[in-house]
Structure 1
């Protein structure tokens, strides 16, 4: 089927149906049809002009510009420089690079507090921690422990220590190791044991009381090495990476800093609460104001806030509840608060 002139005009106006467009397409595939197509297209464009300028009006405006040129550009017209500048000229590269470095630096600095949780102790302060896997850590004064906020216990059990700490590690059914990063060149890996670690700027020290410990250490430029420790072993690593092993250590004096003597002489429970907060970094709440006036005399040896709280509760016939980093004392007749 050969399309008519009117059908082509309808097609040029954008009003042809899909069937008509198909007919025109098949017709254009023929060798001799294109000349007729362009003749009708030229005729249609002349009869239906796409743009009809107002020649007289624009000529008048042009003559006015020639007679009195305008010194200033209209405010809505932007003036461009005589020589076009490339989009990524050196100045823009410098600005973009500065912004990128700043964003990366801010992201890196903000990364550590978001990913890791750090527990610290101040001067003359001890602190006992129970980790999500059931392991316990006793931190000495001026120490810090860093652990991941997410994934601890199922992704890894890796912590970093600065200072002194005693670890009592719980064995998991998955046999997932517990690793303490002491220094850049010393890592302590265990499966279930009790040991102490001292990590200072000039040296590191590991003492094993019971169980099994595998040390990963690196000396200078040498490859990393392993050392299997036995109960009673003490390993010291100096700032140069030199390792020294001392065996058959008397573990009865293991981490003596943990245990402190608390001496009370007609001391009120309010003052005792202040001492607990100062030494162990936990808050103490007395549910009854009358408890603050109760006094005690004696000496208590305790290595953690829990041990001291239990001893006080037994001596004064009180109940003690634990809630996060809070100890709550109440009388024996009060309803015990849930942990």
Structure 2
């Protein structure tokens, strides 16, 4: 029966769309505790892609309260027993409070389960952090980034991590050729065996740069579509419209220059640099003149802190800036 069980079948099980035979196969599979971690990982992935199905406890509470507060007509032919209105209201208010309490406890337990089974590492503005996973893979997180992965059994049952922000990966080859998977918030999934690559997954776009090895890219929304197979030097970008484009770079290390506390520009516009300042240091950036935003520059410079980067920008673009708290204004 195990040959009919895969991720799609388990997703159908969560949605209530499995056949009786598939349902029996999933339940038999769950009898083995070794499968529980994979089950919770797939459950989390399914929940991320079905957020619209999440119930609102506040809406449910309001609807329940409306029903409880509705007055039952005294002349109702179905009522032959008298009741104390104040006791009824008090009793039902307690019932509503109990329902809300149980709902909140359930939500807390779900969050507790998440903290027990998964580990999240988050890096603040202006920082980087190196993380060595239990399978031997090395991850370097850029500023304002986070990675989430199973706390137990990583490298045995699964090698799936979730990335928000930017990270550089050096994936350790698995003796069993087990896939290493990076999932991004917009549904871009990077699957590898053993390789070195950089993933950029922020609000404005997602981008994968491959240095060595081979990776396959897949959108979780279209699991049956052919994967994009990347070769060393390939740079694939996913824009906000969902369009994937592939380019080639002779210097893929540029995309991970931040690991060495450097910033590398290749005909980079001031508008793009403003986005980097916001993502890396948490600045709010305003560019006074539209033509100034399109001005570009090329070069590689130290970037140990925000002040060093700002000084580099003013010299490189020959511009001035004012700074008030975390707001930066560039002007000629």
TM-score normalised to structure 2 length = 0.49
> Which protein is bigger by CA-based radius of gyration?
1
- Identify, as 1 or 2, the structure richer in helix: 2
